[in-house]
Structure 1
């Protein structure tokens, strides 16, 4: 018996042949794809489906993958009026001193629901602001995020890593009391997160180390960072968890390998702007992957040589970098941003064709994160993570060249149906298992309380910049 049948859609399989089936169908049983092909053939071979999604006028695609984002960012959008330094300092205060577990739960639900609505079935979330302000002082914060994401139903890759030296770092814990937290205490929290959550339900865990970029090397500091990196790496590899880093640029990849031994085939690294020849050679030699964040501030301050890396054989995926300070979780938006980013850099409109952009949020992302055996394409035997995209809106007509239309013209609100592991989480734009109003209200409430706790309410006084061409 077939559990689920999606039929009469334009199936963009992303399989090895990159088949596009004009009137196609997908049969699902026990959470996995049973068959992919023309509707008539699939229906004949697998009759009597318990549930049917009519996909006429829709594209059927693999669920999208967001290769890099930050938990917490959903409740700190827009703060600081595009003053990135002030915004980063606000994140440090909020994430370490002014965010109880209820904040992380509410933000996780909001971010995961946004991803669900936009067809992102697998999303990476660093628990905090990346390589300097991780929320790893107590397992209660890890548990709050992971539990909330599980309730939404999408897949999550939760990234846990220590803050930068010096230690100890002050944190206000789940009991509301401020305490100094050592590296060893952070390592205990990271280890507990891996052991508790990696491979549980739809959650995977990755470990993280801050990116070292210092021009002058203090031998004692380098030795200590090497020790910390080895311990963090081991905390993940013991359970088969992969490794991630946030914020590489201009020589730091080569340093991470030469000085700390952190780069490997089980690692993927974000931003990667203004890389040196030695950086790219290291990525190729070590078999590591890269997540390109074309909508991030880092992509304004420096250039990510994604085309050169891909031509050298490096797997490159796309990440949203989360929804703050000025972005969204809409991977259609980030695909198009990626295309224009490189076309402008090369002054060449042939750069990054739509098929490559779509690969970067499906098959390439799955490969770069070590999950290509189960996700990233619509093929028999893989997990049934499937989305549909409406092709009938005025911005999607005329009905030709479906891959180009999906990449160039679609947006997250065109996603109509989302299936994760064979479970229908969104049907015709509605998630029946969720209360969206309650999710939004919890997020609003926690954001308001955070502004009071942190003393940062002045940072949400808007200055749009009327009449100015520069802030």
Structure 2
């Protein structure tokens, strides 16, 4: 018997033929898609579904994929009133000295719940952020994040990587005691995280190395950086885990390959602004993928040549770089911003049509993360990660040209139903297995305690910049 049937909606399959079925259906059994096709045809073949979602007036499409975001950021939103230097320093203090496991647990549950309600069924989360400040001093923090995400039920790719030198770096551990932590200790925690969580349930793990640039480090330390990179890479690669780097720009991709040998088809790199010809050639040659973050501050400071990379055959996905300092995990928002960013760059409204933008958060993202055989499209045999999007709201009517409607007009609050691995996690905007008030209360409590521990409460005093053209 079929476990679940979604029927009557406009099915945007994202399959190789990119079929759009005006009155379609999707049948699901044992967590995987059984059939996708016209409603009458699928209903006839699967007449006795245990559960049915009536999707008339909605689009049915694959769950969205967020290719780059940061764990921890959900509880540091807006700190510093858009002062990037103050915010980055706050992240350093918070993520190393003022965030017990309960902080990471509350933040992970909040961020995963946000993703779920926005139709993001798979999301990448770096355990920490700012400028490569990883929370990798004790596996208790990895466990707290992974357990909380598992409780929400979406898929997560948890990225673990060491901080930048100098080592040792001071951390306050889960016992509340400050101690110095060496690179070797961080590597042990990263390795334990991969062994404990990679491919267990709906959590995968990837490893990470900070991005280095020749102008910004002592050449005498190159060998040590290379040694660390190889150890981190091997900790993941030997266990089937992928590799990620955050913040490439202007020659650093070519350098990561030439000096450190870090790239390959299992790697994806974020931001990638102001790239050189050698950077693009390196991406083509190594098969590495790119995650473009059009709403991030990096996209203000430099241009990511996403259209050019895609024309060169490089897989490019979209990441939110969320949920802080000033953006959410709403991938509809980031799709539209991506389109306008590149149309403005080229002064050409034909750049990045809506179909390509939707590919960048579904099938292209799945391919870039090495998961194209499992998720990213509605095809028989793939994991049943499916969402429905309301096409009947005023801003979506008339609901002709459904792909354009979903990309140009929808937002995360238009997501009605979310299915992950055949499990209905949200139905009619309700998540019965989760207590929204409890999640929000825990987030408030941990944020409040963190501000006191970090002595950063002054950064949470709002200054909107009334009357100012420039702050």
Q: TM-score, normalised by structure 1?
A: 0.99
Q: Tell me if the contact between 1:385 and 1:419 (Cα under 8 Å) persists in the aligned partners.
A: yes
- How far off is 1:220 after superposition? 3.0
The alpha carbon displacement at 1:131 in A equals: 4.9
Structure 1 runs not aligned, ≥5 long: none
Counterpart-to-counterpart distance in 2, 1:433 and 1:421:
16
User: Secondary structure at 2:106's aligned position in 1?
Assistant: helix
- 1:123, 1:155 within 8 Å by CA — same for their partners in 2? yes
**Structure 1: how far apart are the matches of 2:295 and 2:219?**
36
Which residue in 1 is equivalent to 2:87?
Answer: 87
Q: For 1:260 and 1:89, how far apart are their aligned partners in 2? A: 28
Task: Find the residue that maps to 1:215 and give its secondary structure.
Answer: helix
Tell me the SS of whatever aligns to 1:304.
coil
Q: How does 1:145-160 map to 2 (within 5 A)?
A: 145-160=145-160
User: Could you say if the C-alpha distance between residues 216 and 397 of structure 1 is closer, same or farther in structure 2, counting changes exceeding 3 Å?
Assistant: closer
Q: Is the 8 A contact 1:130 1:246 kept in 2?
A: no
Query: How far apart, in 1, do the equivalents of 2:383 and 2:354 lie?
Result: 25
Partners of 1:177 and 1:311 lie apart in 2 by: 52
Map 1:128-139 to 2 at 5 A: 128-129=128-129, 131-139=131-139
Residue number in structure 2 paired with 1:72: 72
Q: 2 CA distance for matches of 1:397 and 1:11?
A: 17
CA RMSD of aligned residues (A): 0.7
Q: Measure the CA separation in 1 of the matches of 2:135 and 2:322.
A: 16
Q: Report what 1:407 is aligned to.
A: 407
C-alpha deviation, 1:304, in angstroms: 0.3
- Deviation by residue 1:140-161 (Cα, 9 ceiling, x = unmatched): 0000000000000000000000
Post-superposition CA distance 1:338-388 (Å, at most 9, x none): 000001111111111000000000000000000000000000000000000
5+ residue gaps, structure 2, are: none
| Equivalent residue, structure 1, for 2:468 | 468
Q: Secondary structure at the match of 2:133?
A: coil
What residue number does 2:13 align with? 13
SS at the partner of 1:443?
Answer: helix
CA contact (8 A) 1:24 1:38 kept: yes
List per-residue Cα deviations over 1:210-245 (Å, max 9, x = no partner): 000131663431000000000000000111000000
Paired residues for 1:50-199 under 5 Å: 50-129=50-129, 131-199=131-199
Which of structure 1's runs of 4+ aligned residues deviate more than 4 A?
none
Q: Residue 23 of structure 1 corresponds to which residue in structure 2?
A: 23
- Counterpart-to-counterpart distance in 2, 1:405 and 1:245: 33
What is the SS of the residue equivalent to 1:243?
Answer: strand
* Alignment correspondent of 1:419: 419
- Alignment check: 8 A CA contact 1:131 1:209 kept: no
Which whole-Å CA distance do the structure 2 matches of 1:37 and 1:216 have between them? 55
Superposition deviation, residue 67 in structure 1:
0.1
Q: TM-score, normalised by structure 2?
A: 0.99
